């Protein structure tokens, strides 16, 4: 037999999870960093990119683009091309 407590429990667990994720950002001193860095940390904490975007106050598309650009910059902008060895 189920009652409304399951929904209430799930709601509170989601609130607690978001709060803990926010505290992790603060503890890692990432609150002053760019959103891509914060988003990647939240993803390593097993949060979806959509949830991370909502927590950071941005859209999924925007966060996705920021993370992709940061990744390309980190790789040197080669976009998958490798060096030719002569």
Q: Are the CB atoms for 48 and 39 separated by under 8 Å?
A: no
62 within some domain: yes
Report the predicted TM-score, pTM, of the whole model to 2 decimal places: 0.69
Q: How many domains does the chain have?
A: 1
pLDDT score for 6: 86
Domain with 10 in it: 5-74
**Positive or negative, the Cα torsion across 42, 38, 57, 73?**
negative
Q: Are the CB atoms for 42 and 25 separated by under 8 Å?
A: yes
81 within some domain: no
Q: C-alpha 23: how far from its chain's center? A: 14
pLDDT score for 1: 43
pLDDT score for 66: 94
For residue 69, give Cα distances in angstroms to 22, 24, 51, 73.
Answer: 23, 24, 20, 6
60 within some domain: yes
84 within some domain: no
Residue ranges in the chain modelled with pLDDT below 70: 1-4, 77-86
79 within some domain: no
In the chain the first and final C-alpha atoms are separated, in Å, by: 71
28 within some domain: yes
């Amino acid at each position: 037999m189920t009652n409304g407590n399951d929904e209430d429990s799930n709601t509170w667990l989601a609130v607690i999870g978001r709060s803990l994720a926010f505290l992790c950002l603060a503890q890692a001193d990432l609150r002053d960093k760019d959103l891509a860095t914060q988003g990647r940390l939240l993803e390593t904490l097993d949060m979806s990119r959509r949830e991370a975007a909502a927590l950071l106050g941005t859209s999924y598309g925007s966060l996705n683009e920021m993370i992709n650009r940061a990744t390309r910059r980190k790789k040197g902008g080669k976009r998958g091309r490798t060096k030719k060895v002569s």
